[in-house]
């Protein structure tokens, strides 16, 4: 099947008033130090079967001190309030029937005990914070785009913003090598996460200098798994549409690749 090929550089067009896909960068996670006890939520949050009809909510809003977030068990993923990135998580077994949910750079984000208690880990609180259930919520999903969504315009807009953030005189090109069936929402999200990574690193002079040679951002949908790497002057982002939200690298993973 013929693939879509984009070679785009902005010519001053800026994105204005167009809905962004739902994604967000939450607090950076650290390594848990100890195992604080989360707020027990009984049958509602238990990961184990507790009889007919007893199961954890598919998606719900939670609070841990001053941090609010939506945790979606399908995927699974977490989205922090006030941020846009949906952070895909991987589930790992924990002692006594519990589970540990980590992001794509291996950092713990949530721990759920076998009885349903939850603990949130952040860079500010690596020892963890107990989590309380707030309310049921809609699942974490990328926004649907209207039929006339212009992916090319989106890519030109990302190109313009990255160029401005880096203060470059030359335009950072955005290039896509994509199957026509690849969802535009996933491509747009992956590229905007790259933009976030540039913005984050550009705030520190040492990291900004490490990115100054980048003149191209390439997104592809061929590969065994989501990946990101810098090859020469190109930041290459590989997405896997079949994996949904877990099929694109997080902004943190992209930022780390740019910082090497």
Query: For residue range 88-127, what is the model confidence (pLDDT) as tens digits?
Result: 999 999 988 899 999 999 999 999 999 889 999 998 888 9
Q: Mean pLDDT over residues 196-221, rounded?
A: 93
- Which of 2-16, 88-102, 189-203 is the least confident region? 2-16
Gap between the Cα atoms of 8 and 213, Å rounded? 18
Cis peptide upstream of residue 76 (ω within 30 degrees of 0): yes
Return the DSSP state at 142.
P
pLDDT of 26 reads: 53
Measured CA to CA, the distance from residue 196 to residue 206 in angstroms comes to: 17
For range 127-144, the mean pLDDT = 92
Q: What burial class does residue 249 get, using C-beta atoms within 10 Å of its C-beta: 0-12 exposed, 13-18 middle, 19+ buried? A: buried
Q: Are 219 and 239 in contact (CB under 8 A)?
A: yes
pLDDT tens, position by position, 229-252: 999 999 999 999 999 999 999 999
pLDDT in tens, 54-87: 467 899 999 999 999 999 999 899 999 998 899 9
Instruction: Report residue 201 as tokens.
Output: 């690193």
Continuous segment of H or E residues that includes residue 257: helix 251-259
Q: How far apart are the first and last CA of the chain?
A: 36
């Amino acid at each position: 099947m013929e693939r879509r090929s984009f070679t785009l550089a902005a010519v001053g067009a800026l994105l204005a008033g167009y809905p962004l896909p739902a994604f967000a960068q939450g607090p950076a996670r650290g390594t848990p130090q100890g195992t604080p006890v989360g707020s027990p939520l009984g049958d509602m949050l238990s990961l184990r079967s507790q009889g007919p009809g007893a199961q954890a909510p598919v998606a719900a809003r939670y609070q841990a001190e001053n941090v609010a977030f939506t945790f979606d068990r399908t995927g699974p993923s977490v989205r922090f309030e006030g941020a846009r990135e949906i952070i895909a998580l991987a589930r790992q077994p924990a002692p006594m029937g519990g589970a540990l949910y980590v992001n794509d750079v291996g950092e713990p984000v949530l721990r759920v005990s076998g009885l349903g208690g939850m603990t949130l880990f952040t860079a500010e609180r690596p020892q963890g914070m107990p989590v309380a259930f707030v309310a049921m919520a809609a699942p974490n999903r990328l926004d649907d785009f209207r039929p006339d969504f212009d992916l090319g315009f989106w890519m030109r807009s990302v190109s313009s913003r990255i160029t401005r953030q880096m203060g470059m005189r030359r335009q950072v090109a955005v290039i896509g090598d994509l199957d026509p069936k690849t969802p535009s929402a996933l491509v747009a999200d992956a590229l905007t996460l790259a933009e976030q990574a540039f913005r984050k690193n550009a705030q520190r002079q040492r990291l900004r200098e490490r990115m100054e040679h980048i003149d191209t951002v390439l997104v592809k949908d061929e590969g065994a798994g989501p990946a990101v790497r810098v090859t020469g002057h190109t930041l290459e982002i590989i997405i896997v549409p079949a994996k949904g939200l877990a099929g694109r690298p997080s902004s943190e993973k992209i930022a780390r690749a740019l910082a090497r």
